[in-house]
Structure 1
Amino acid sequence: MLEAVVIGVTDAEWGEVVVAYVQPRPGSTIDPAALQARCASSLRGHKRPTSLIVLDVVPKNAVGKIDKPKLRARHTAAP
């Protein structure tokens, strides 16, 4: 994995849940099920991502930092 970012998103039942966005290294792939299993084996339940989304490129702002507001908006817009 080249980059990963987690964000908190609003959830009706829990108030907020963890969502992970990951970007694979060029020429490689990520198996979301295997990554979820790895998270389950090493993270407590409240720290585990409820969703794991693979992106071609993690969005960055003009300064080069990960653009979390854009990811939140993307997650909110997703069905």
Structure 2
Amino acid sequence: MPHSSDSSDSSFSRSPPPGKQDSSDDVRRVQRREKNRIAAQKSRQRQTQKSIKKDAQVPWHRARRAGNGYFSK
């Protein structure tokens, strides 16, 4: 008698068992959060550096606009 294919037979299933799927989803979720946290830190650092750079340019622009001779040719 040929072996009948049973829908509950998990040996041909491509998805992992529910317990393992939950743990792999948790691992992926934790990895995604960590990656997102690092990306957010880098973004904040870039914003801070841009702000610092702009603040450093303010006195130069003010003196230039004032025409006090400091930057005149």
Task: Give TM-score, length-normalised by structure 2.
Answer: 0.21
Per residue, is there more helix in 1 or in 2? Answer: 2
Q: Which has the larger radius of gyration?
A: 2
- Considering Cα pairs closer than 8 Å and 6+ residues apart, tell me whether 1 or 2 has the greater RCO: 1
More strand by share: 1
